[in-house]
Structures are given as structure tokens and as C-alpha cells.
Structure 1
């Protein structure tokens, strides 16, 4: 059913993350803020009700439509789903045409809601949609008055550790406290936006780069002294920032964001908890991203290597691509012994060590977070797909597949590479 729904949904042009894991589903809900969340009542190690109960407080803050489905059409089951926050209930076997239409309506309502809302639901910061409008206003102001302004990208340091150690609800409180702190400390004319996850944008009108650095360093020095408490534990949080001065009406928002993001990357690479101006961003060497193709078919290896070599990863990474005919050759290679980030395209069926064994070994690695994995499987390998999802594959594709579709999935996962 998981495979079938993923296939049907993707035919609509939707990007679909399919998982049989409660933990992975909850993590995806928090990190991806999906346009729709579909969960079955009956699962292997838990129930859909368990997941809804866990997310109940969260869904009141984030408007994410939730659809439950089940073979059980009893009134009590449906009522329980709606009481826990479900927006719709599908009875299996599904009428796929009707199901797609109903999910499509939920997604349209979510996107319409986002377009009208200026504020991020969780933190109260402005959202990305409003960022475009304010940036355009600043460009117009510069055109008239010639006063430069600055754009900064701020990223909370090691935020994943807070979620892992204290839970996502504590992580939410940290995000809310950060925005509340920023609103209190910045000028009334400044604007704070939530850009995504733990990343925020700060727009500083009538501010040059030196003034912006001074302001941001002051904000950082004060924020790191703020104490957070969880039960009997206390901890601190910091942020890193990249800032750029805009003094050209021809600069689109994308260019300013790119420049600030490059500076932020340097701040994180050089130890975090610091502010870097974009003018310094050319002084530090690029980070290495290693892409591995593990497949026993030499034609497939050559084709995938050519595809990966054409993907634009921006100026942040130096990409190194290697191919391996099986898992044993991969693990025996010295190429994998580094602190770099890895992106792995892994064939499910191989001699000596198959893809599932490779994936299991990767996930047991003490630095398993270094690896993003796409599993390639045959259409008839339902059990292998289920096992791959249980072992933590980030995505899977069934053969034969279109190269453009694989490229789209690679690009999507690339956004999650830190």
C-alpha cells in the first residue's frame, strides 16, 4: 500500500516521502512542514492514533492537513481520528480517483492559507512570502534615497542536537524564544523572517555592512547568555550569521540570499557562533561533498555518474564522484574515511553484499548522519523496499526510472545536506 500510494501521488507531480517508521514520520513532519500528512490507523509497531496524539499540540500551531485511512470504518474509529485532529478519513480499499481529488483540495487550501498569511505559525516571525514584498520595498527605497540596507541569514547552532536530546517541543520553544528575543532587541524598522527550520532572515534598513556586523555581534553576545531549561537540565544556544549589504537596485532577492548564505557557510565552517560579512566569503575554501554510486551494472554506473556531474550544487561544495561495483568495494575504499558529507545512490540487488546490507552497515556507522541514501529497487521487490525504509533510506526509486525524476530527487535531498 505504501509503495502504491507513493506511486499514485507522484503521478500528480507531488514530492512524496514514504516511510513505515513512526520516528521518521514525526521527524519529517517537523522538518519538512508538508502540505499534507497521510497516516494509516494500523501500523506495524504503533497505531496512527499514537502519531496523531504525539502531534496533536503541534498541529494546532502548524496548519498541516492530516488524512487518516483504515480498513476499519466503524463510527468509533472515525470519531477518534477526528477528535485527535484528523481533517479527513479514507476507508480502504480506496477509490483512488476520489482520494486524489480530496488530497488535492487539502493541498490547495494549505497553499492558499500560506499565501495569505504573513506570519510563520509557530514563531510569529514574518514568513518567506512576506520577505519578497519587504525586500522589494527596500529596493524601491534605495532607488529613491540611496541608503544601503543589509540582509542577514541567521542559523541556530547545533539545533538538531536540541531536538534529539530534549525533544521537538523543546526545540519549538527555543525557536519561539529566539524570535521573541530578536523582536525585543531589534529596531522597529527591522524585520525578522523565518526562512525555514532553524534559519531566519533579518532585514536591516538604512544600515551599511559595518553597522550590521556591530548589531549582529551585539545580538549574538546577548543571546548566548540566555538560559534554557528542560526539566532539571539547563543549556545555552547560539547562532551563526552571514550578512550582505545591498546597494544596487539590480540585485534580486535570490542574489542577496546567495551572498549571505555563502557568508553563513563560512561562519559555520570556521567554528560557528560568529558573524561573517559576505566580502569575506571568498577567503575560505569550499567544502567537499562526496557522491557515491554503488551498482554492479557498469552502464548504470556510467549513466548515473554523468547525471550527478551535471547537477549544479552552487559555489559551496567541491563535488567528488566515485563509482563502486558492489558494497564490499565501497567499504574497503579509503575514499569513505573522511569527515565530508556523502550522497549515496545504492542499487538494491548486487552480488556479494546487496544494497540492504550496505544500508544497514551505513546506518550502524557512528557517523551515519553523514550519509544521504537513495535506494534503487526493482518494481517487484516490495519486501526490499519495506526493509530499506525501516533501515532509514532517505528515498527510493523503482526501476526503470526517468533520469529527470532521479535528478529532481537528488536536488531535493541535496537541500538537506548540511
Structure 2
């Protein structure tokens, strides 16, 4: 029997597991989707050993020529399955890629011996092992009723995890502070749970040490506060090594262009002039968090 010929630089199944585990965790840290695509050679038993090996090598070379530099192509140990990890891509983008390369393979005479079928698995959480991912997709592709050039879908790993967000309200007025607390406690944001704390001034917020945790942290604060005002807190937070975890909303009674520019240049994400409609605040917060899952 002839030894299987592999296209140069194609990773093999045993080499990919470590890469996958790193990529899987980056899905959680970066909140970006990864999609895995698997192919199966539908007519792998046809022809001589040499002809079959040539077809497999041709498929590897073709797939390698069509992926981006950020995508990871590999061949499974059985020699009749291939996989691609598409980074920062959804199943919609993966389907478009499959339709495009299937059209090329079916039209070009040099690929007339090739017939493929494919499966797609969008990954939005880290509750999947490399072995489970391979098994679930290989089972889909083992279905004899699945015609060639068709695309199956595995949906087991597409549920987005829920992330806890710290919320700090820093407002001197006790009544308005309570109104804000009630509003944010009742705010429903998909994929996030809010843990709301309130402070009457900047000093008590800094003494709490709540801002030193690793959680994403939404700050809703007034610009004028006793004992450490809002601009001082803004400066402290934006000079922390992990300052990107903070989403900072500043409330102010000052509606001047200078005050607004000063706040944005200092690093606020939203500047809201008092008085304001609470529904506007809710809409802004929902839109901010929706961007993490676009």
C-alpha cells in the first residue's frame, strides 16, 4: 500500500489539539466567535491507492490556497476528513466560504474526481473538548443520507455564556442614587448579569476595592462628588493596567462643549447631561453591551 501523500505544511490531527484549546479560551476572553468546518471525501474508496492519495493531496493543497492566514487548516488521522478553524467568524461566514469553494470544485475540470460534504460548528463557549468536537462533526458526516456538496450544522456549542459584570453607581443624591440602583437591577441584558453596588462619594468607592477585581466593570457616576470627584476617579481608573475592563458613564449638569470634551478626552465612554430620561440611560447601556456580541 502506498504511503499517504500530504500537502506541505498541513497540520495533522495530533498537532492541533493544543492550538484548539488556546483558541477555545480566547473565544471567552475576547468574546469573539470561532467556527469549525469539517470536510469529508465522499468517494474515498474509489480508484487505486495512488489515485486516492493524489485526490487527498489535491484537496489539502486546494483548501490551503483558499483560507486566510488567520485560519487553521488540518487533516484528521483517518485521511478522509479535513478541518478548518475560522477565527473571529460566524457560521454565516463559514457557509459563504463553503458555497464558494464547492462551486469552484464542481466547475473546474481538474477537480472532477473530488466530491465532498461538510459540517459547520459555531463555537461561542468553552464547554467543548477537541475530541467531542471531532466526534460530533464526524457523526454528522457519517450519515449516508447526506448528499455530496451538502452542509450539515452542529449547534451544540453555540450557546453564549453568561458573564458577570460589576456595576458601581457613584451619586451623592440619595434619592437619585436609589432610582439608578433600582433601574439597573431591573435591566435585562442578554449574556450578562449585573451586580450593582452604590456609593455616595468617590472616596467610599475607592475604599471598597471593588474596582480591583478582574470582572468587567460599569461605572455610572456624577462628575461633581464630595471626597474624590468624578474626574479624579476617571483619572485613577484610566491609569490602571487593566483599564479597558471599565465602561465609564459620567453624569453631569454641565452641558457646555468644554465640559463634554474634557470628559471624553479623560476617557469616559458616555457623557450624559442631567436631567435625562432613564430610558435613554437603559438604551445606551444595552447598546454598549450588545456590541460585545456583534
Q: TM-score, normalised by structure 2?
A: 0.51
CA distance in 2, matches of 1:280, 1:384: 46
Aligned positions, number: 183
Alignment of 1:55-134 (within 5 A): none
Alignment partner, residue 168 of structure 2: 292
CA distance in 2, matches of 1:325, 1:417: 30
Quote the residue 2:181 is aligned against: 305
Relative to structure 1, the CA distance from residue 386 to residue 322 in structure 2 (aligned partners, 3 Å threshold; closer, same or farther) is same
State the match for 2:216 in structure 1: 341
Cα separation, partners in 2 of 1:417 and 1:329, compared to 1, 3 Å: farther
Q: Please state if 1:324 is matched with 2:199.
A: yes
Deviations 1:34-67 (A, max 9, x none): xxxxxxxxxxxxxxxxxxxxxxxxxxxxxxxxxx
Give the gaps of 5 or more residues in structure 2: 1-23, 32-65, 73-87, 99-117, 137-153
2:226 is aligned, of 338, 351, 363, to 351
| Cα deviation digits, residues 163-196 of structure 1 (max 9, x gap) | xxxxxxxxxxxxx9749969xxxxxxxxxxxxxx
Q: Kindly report structure 1 stretches of 4+ aligned residues shifted beyond 4 Å.
A: 154-160, 179-182, 269-272, 274-278
Cα deviation, residue 286, structure 1: 3.7
Contact 2:164 2:215 in 1 (8 A): yes
Asked if 2 retains the 8 angstrom alpha-carbon contact of 1:291 and 1:322, the reply is yes
CA contact (8 A) 2:201 2:227 kept: yes
Residue 401 in structure 1 maps to residue 283 in structure 2: no
Any conservation in 1 of the 2:128–2:157 contact (CA below 8 Å)? no
For residues 181 and 299 of structure 1, the distance between their equivalents in structure 2, rounded to whole angstroms, comes to: 53
Match of 2:243 in 1: 368
Q: 1:331 & 1:290 partners in 2: Cα distance?
A: 14
Q: By how many angstroms is 1:415 displaced?
A: 2.0
Offset from partner CA, 1:283-328 (integer Å, 9 cap, x none)? x9742111111111111111111111122112x2332001111111
Cα offset, 1:381, TM superposition: 4.8
Which structure's relative contact order is higher, taking Cα pairs within 8 Å and 6+ residues apart?
2
Q: Distance in 2 between matches of 1:376 and 1:317?
A: 23
Instruction: Extract unaligned runs of 5+ from structure 1.
Output: 1-153, 161-175, 183-197, 206-210, 217-240, 243-263
Q: CA separation of 1:365/1:270 partners in 2, compared to 1, >3 Å: closer, same or farther?
A: farther
The alignment partner of 1:353 has SS state of coil
> How far, CA to CA, are the matches of 1:177 and 1:307 in structure 2?
47
**1:127-163, Cα deviation, whole Å (9 max, x unpaired):** xxxxxxxxxxxxxxxxxxxxxxxxxxx9986879xxx
CA gap 1:416/1:372 in 2 versus in 1, 3 angstroms: farther
* Aligned residue in 2 for 1:387: 262
Distance (Å, rounded) in 1 between the aligned partners of 2:197 and 2:270: 20
In structure 2, relative to structure 1, the CA distance for the partners of 1:379 and 1:337 (3 Å cut) is closer
**3-state SS, counterpart of residue 385 of structure 1:** helix
C-alpha separation in 1, matches of 2:158 and 2:279: 32
Counterpart contact for 2:223–2:230, Cα < 8 Å: yes
Tell me the C-alpha RMSD between the 2 structures. Answer: 4.3
1:294 touches 1:323 (CA, 8 Å); kept in 2? yes
Hey, what does 1:412 align to over in structure 2?
287
- Choose between structure 1 and 2: higher helix proportion: 1
Aligned 8 A contact 2:221 2:230 in 1 = yes
Contact 1:341-1:417 within 8 A present in 2 as well: no
